[in-house]
Amino acid sequence: YLADGRETGDAGCGDPLATVLSFDLPDTPFQVAMFSPVTGLHSPWIDFSGGTRCRLETPVFKHDLVVHLRQRK
């Protein structure tokens, strides 16, 4: 779960943002999808390879973003 830490009244509050996540995972196939609590939209699941130093670019979002990662069966 990613949350924009800017509060009402802070510069840039509500402006769109994006980021790149970096993390280590077991070396196995995964799937990832994103969900915006603001819009209610859910992305399709896409294949994602695990391993050391995985990088995942988020789409542009406002306020919060749920990143859902699951091991591919």
Q: Is 4 exposed, middle or buried (0-12, 13-18, 19+ CB in 10 A)?
A: middle
- Over the stretch 54-71, which tens digit does the pLDDT of each residue have? 999 999 998 899 999 999
Cα distance between residue 37 and residue 29, in whole Å: 26
- Over the stretch 25-56, which tens digit does the pLDDT of each residue have? 999 999 999 999 989 999 999 999 999 999 99
